[in-house]
Structures are given as structure tokens and as C-alpha cells.
Amino acid sequence: MPEGQIVRALSGFFYVRTPHRDIRCRARGVFKKKKWSPLVGDWVTYEETDATEGWVTHLHPRKTELVRPPIANVDQAVVIGSFLEPKVQSELLDRFLVHAERAGLETVICLTKSDLLPDSSEEKALREIYEAADYPVLITSVHTGEGIEELKRALKNRLSVFAGQSGVGKSSLLNAILPSARLQTGEVSRKLGRGRHTTRHVEILDLPGGGQVADTPGFSQLSFGKMEATELGRCFPELAERASDCKFRGCLHKNEPGCAVREALTTGEISGTRYRHYLQFLEEINEQRRY
């Protein structure tokens, strides 16, 4: 039976891309019985009913899976924040980075709207924090063209997901690297200080130089679901790197004696902002476990 990749899901239909055409499919009833939910990015086996429609009959095993945005088989997350309108929220940025690490994705941080910066001090501060945590940081502007070619190279030959707070410029960036997409963009609400959602669903777009990128709706929050407290440290690369030097196995890096992470914090090797977010997330996880 033929196979393909789900590139869009809308109103109960799954659009399966093949080398020759896209097939609009529904999922067989067996999926509901087994509580399987096809996602954009899934590779599937399907059965044609005519030249343009069919039924998804089988889901292939997934390499990776994200819950929000809901997508499968992503290689890389491009987490987008903007310098202004809306201003980047490092806590929200760190929250998504944790989810990307837990899903086993490579991650690139892309900071947009550099043309709105009055000086380079904020850019320098953010670079220092995240490059010290071993994250690549790209600085971009769709108006000046800064960083666009570098972003194209980072996307080549991978399935990447664009994710970030609404209004940060995900669709504008995609239009810059793939003008044929002509994605709708929206202005930031000055009253609320955040963007209006312009992307309504997850969709995979093919890039002319090789590779694919997924446009996704903006997100405002991400909970930690069933994550265990002992997992969280592994999702902060700079903490995970030092955890083996802690005195106690399973150290949570709060107030345990002989903690190598806290020692690195006092010497400035670890960002105080990142560490505070780690403690905040740890408390959230512990609160969830109580209920």
C-alpha cells in the first residue's frame, strides 16, 4: 500500500504528501478504538478511494513527538523570540527549551526584529546567557535581511518546527525564507502586549534548498505534564553537564551539600536567570505531583 507524510491536519482531514500529489484522507475507526491520534509530521500508510482522497490505515513509528505544538518526527526546534513588540520573555523561552530537550530535539534560538533595537546591549546579554548553555543564537530582521541566509543554512535538510509566542514574527520569517508561502501576518496588540494569532493550524512547508519547516500557532504557556522532578535538570544542558560532579546522585541542585551546579552558579559559570527558572519549574512539577 502507498505511503506518505501528513503535512497538514484540518477539520478531521489529514493531507498526506506523496512524491506525486497530496491525498486528503480520514483516519480509520481503528485509530479511535486504539486511542491513536495522527499528527502532522507522521509517516503513514494509506488506502486510496480515488485520485485525491483516501483513508489513513497505519501510523509508522515516530522518532520524536511534541504535544504543543502537536507535531511528530521533528529534527530541530527553532524557538523564536523578538526583541520588541512583543519583548522576549526569557521564562517562556526557557520553558519551551525544556520541552525541546525532553523530546530529544536539536534547538536553535532565533531572535527577531533586531532593527528595532536602540543598541546592541540586550542582544549581547541574551547571546551570553544562551550560548553559555550551548544553544546556537541567530539574530534576524526581515526588514534589513540580517541573519536570513544563516537561518536558511540552519534549516537545510531537516524537519524544523518554528515555535514561539504569538506576534514574534514566525510567519514573517517564513515568508522571508519561502516567499511562495505568502503566510498571513498580524500586528501586535499594543493594549495586551502580545501578538494576535495568525497561524491557525500546524502545516509542513517544503524548502527549495532541501528540508522542511513547520509553521505553528503561537503558544502562551506550556505545562510540564508528567515530567518528574529528577528529569528537569537533564533538560538544562549547563546543569546536566555538571550534575555528575555533584556529591549525591539524583541531586536536585536546590540546597544539597556538595552540589556542583550551585558551585558553578556562585562562580558565574551558570546564568542566575536560567537557574531561577529551573527552580521555578521544579516547584511547578512538585506542585503538580501533589494533586
* Residue 195 placed within a domain: yes
Question: Does 165 show up as a binding residue in the annotation?
Answer: yes
Question: Does 113 show up as a binding residue in the annotation?
Answer: yes
Helix axes 272-290, 90-102, angle to 10 degrees: 70
Shared-domain flag, residues 51 and 69: no
In the chain, the number of structural domains is: 3
pLDDT, position 192: 36
Domain limits for position 176: 65-215
* Residue 122 placed within a domain: yes
Shared-domain flag, residues 133 and 249: no
Shared-domain flag, residues 187 and 83: yes
State the CATH number of the domain containing residue 264.
1.10.40.50
* Residue 140 placed within a domain: yes
Q: What does DSSP say about strands 3-10 and 43-48: parallel, antiparallel, or unpaired? A: antiparallel
pLDDT, position 273: 96
Question: Does 164 show up as a binding residue in the annotation?
Answer: yes
* Residue 133 placed within a domain: yes
Compute the distance between CA of residue 81 and CA of residue 95 in angstroms, rounded to an integer. 12
Compute the distance between CA of residue 153 and CA of residue 137 in angstroms, rounded to an integer. 13
pLDDT, position 191: 40
Question: Does 211 show up as a binding residue in the annotation?
Answer: no
Shared-domain flag, residues 73 and 169: yes
Question: Does 253 show up as a binding residue in the annotation?
Answer: yes
For 95, the 3-state DSSP assignment is helix
pLDDT, position 219: 58
Last residue of one domain, picked from the residues 43, 59, 75? 59
Shared-domain flag, residues 69 and 175: yes
Question: Does 223 show up as a binding residue in the annotation?
Answer: no
* Residue 221 placed within a domain: no
* Predicted TM-score of the model (pTM): 0.84
Mean pLDDT (10-residue bins), the chain, 291 residues: 93 92 88 82 94 92 85 92 87 90 92 89 92 95 94 95 81 87 50 44 88 76 83 96 95 96 96 97 89 65
Question: Does 251 show up as a binding residue in the annotation?
Answer: yes
pLDDT, position 193: 38
- In sequence order, what are the residues at sequence separation of 6 or more whose Cβ sits closer than 8 angstroms to the Cβ of residue 249? none
Shared-domain flag, residues 106 and 122: yes
Compute the distance between CA of residue 112 and CA of residue 168 in angstroms, rounded to an integer. 7
State the CATH number of the domain containing residue 115.
3.40.50.300
* Residue 87 placed within a domain: yes
Compute the distance between CA of residue 111 and CA of residue 106 in angstroms, rounded to an integer. 17
Last residue of one domain, picked from the residues 160, 191, 215? 215
Shared-domain flag, residues 69 and 55: no
pLDDT, position 130: 95
Question: Does 166 show up as a binding residue in the annotation?
Answer: yes
pLDDT, position 208: 87
Question: Does 272 show up as a binding residue in the annotation?
Answer: no
Compute the distance between CA of residue 198 and CA of residue 211 in angstroms, rounded to an integer. 23
Shared-domain flag, residues 193 and 69: yes
